[in-house]
Structure 1
Amino acid sequence: MKTAKAKARYAARAKVMKALAHPTRLFIVDQLANGPRCVCELTEMVDADVSTVSRHLSVLRESGIVVDDKRGNQVFYSLTVPCVLNWYSCVEGVLKAGARQRLAAIR
């Protein structure tokens, strides 16, 4: 990394990757692909308490993956850019390639 600009770009990418590096947050992003959800819905879907879900949403919001929209006494979350779901396809490709390599190694 030669420039401060490049370092900042890689740091920003790492922040997004870290935010997605938790099963619950991946699940939340998957659910938000279907449209905005309130914290109460996500809490029920995740089967966790409100503070846990709020903490996960905070990590996703701080990394720029989701945005919040306060409507009365409820807060709804939605994906900032739905293309984040394209990353899932890439990860699935990596997992499949790894499985093929492991299978080939035991044959």
Structure 2
Amino acid sequence: MPVPLYQKKAEFFRMLGHPVRIRVLELLGERPRQVRELLAEIDVEASNLSQQLAVLRRAGIVVSSRDGSAVTYALAGPDVADLMRAARRILTEMLVDQTELLAALRQASPDAASGRR
């Protein structure tokens, strides 16, 4: 029996569910980068970065190429960069809504919004 699409989507988003992987994808969305460049941008041990890159590579989201001892990573296609931009837009809208709600709460009851009783 084939796996339902919604289940495959859930697995995909679970695979993305690590802060280092998200940061790697954001950086690679700008341009391909060597591992040393990624390490300089992400506060993580080299072994941890290597593990996260391996997960992304196995999923087919990133590709790597070797030039001597330097390994360069790139997104496998533009869709992942589009997904990262969409996530940013969604989060921005969520924060705007929360900010508007907080402003409305403060306006309705300044003492309640500040935590004072």
Q: Which has the higher contact order (CA 8 A, sep 6+)?
A: 1
Q: What are the Cα deviations for residues 40-80 of structure 1, in whole angstroms up to 9, with x where unaligned?
A: 22112113221011011011112211011122222211100
Stretches (4+) displaced over 6 A? none
For 1:1-107, what aligned pairs fall within 5 Å after superposition? Answer: 4-7=1-4, 9-102=5-98, 103-104=100-101, 107=104
Q: Pick closer, same or farther for the CA change 1:101–1:37 going to 2, 3 Å.
A: closer
TM-score scaled to structure 1, two decimals? 0.75
Q: CA deviation at 1:105?
A: 7.0
Give the alignment's Cα RMSD to 1 decimal.
2.2
Distance 2:96 2:38 in 1: 35
Aligned residue pair count? 103
TM-score (normalizing by structure 2):
0.70
* Unmatched runs of 5 consecutive residues or more in structure 1: none
Bigger mean CA offset, 94-103 vs 36-45 = 94-103
**CA 1:71 to 1:16, structure 2 compared with 1: closer, same or farther past 3 Å?**
farther
1:63 partner amino acid: A
Q: Structure 2: which 5+ residue stretches go unaligned?
A: 105-117
Superposition deviation, residue 6 in structure 1: 4.6
